Structure 1
């Protein structure tokens, strides 16, 4: 599932290409036909991301909400427009470009009240200027749930996913099963700032890299990581491989139906 920086990159791109212009919106597949008819021909006012949710605003009570889920994907194209290929849930056509959306978990039109409800149920997003990390801390400081599970809960922190969760805990040497209530506020602030730094880098370059300069392939004389997710990481999807810092095999376990990765030595607490 794409992590939050991917949705922010999409919002930035769609603002550049469509904001301020009338756009054609259609649903070649048919599953979004009613929703598309509500915004077709309207001015695309703006796009924004909140965690893993993308919002296309078309005016009062006309916001297209997209959650990509595991299989959703946008494809971007310059004009001229070509016939749909495959199951296109939504097509947006602007003056210079067009966008196809396939396979999302959610694609629907929300009222202003429903958009407000979405904002209210999500935690702070490290990539948003209006984020309040204190809102997350108030949920974490009394929780018996592990910090690894809390960071994946979009009601607590919006946008962080499995990669950012594993990597920020490694970078700060925090045992992933530490209950939230066993952390102090200074540690939470360090987690938040590191999440913000890593996600802002991902937003700029379009990929997740979490290793510090001294642990990059060139500095260590090791081959670059080969993985379909790309990027240089410390522990994510590196189970049983030696830790880049101490050499201990990276451990893995299931936690809340997701794979958790950590170094038993560097994150011993």
Structure 2
């Protein structure tokens, strides 16, 4: 048993451990015992430090693995869910559709069509499109301005910026925007609530897998939640970086989200 004296200080190590062993972790009790803590304390501090539960995190890791199996390895739906650690085909299909918006079979069938769409979209010199999950008319038009910084050698393609209910991007954003050729993004018509500002960028002229398995996409975020409405316009700067071992997966089908919005 590994004893950690300060759980919140070691949270990145715990996340890395879960990423490496999620397929063999049988219970949260087992995981908390490994690190020398009670299940209640371990779960509470993990949620406080990350914003998401251990169960949500493990589920997202399994989903990322299943997407990888479908896209890169071209496995069958059955093989994908078994290799990812889902014991129930029904649970797998339900969770998959919840996170990506389509069934596993539909996801696999749409890859080439959406890849072609993304290749065309990223070639436009300058374009942007907003997504509103639940569009409503508001008396106060809450908005935030986001400036985007990229590595100097990075071939900028399509960047996705969004406000999410949770700091793990395994669900559609409340408000989001896809941009090409711009370092400024404005998110407007933001409904009241507390959200997390997350972003990722897919390098131009990538392979098909680069648009769907997003572990190689650049990403950035604001660590703390943002509450809207605000008395003044919220302004943030995001600097894109490579994914870190402790970063959670990005399982949203971003090409489909953009394609459906533009349709």
TM-score by length of 1: 0.24
TM-score by length of 2: 0.25
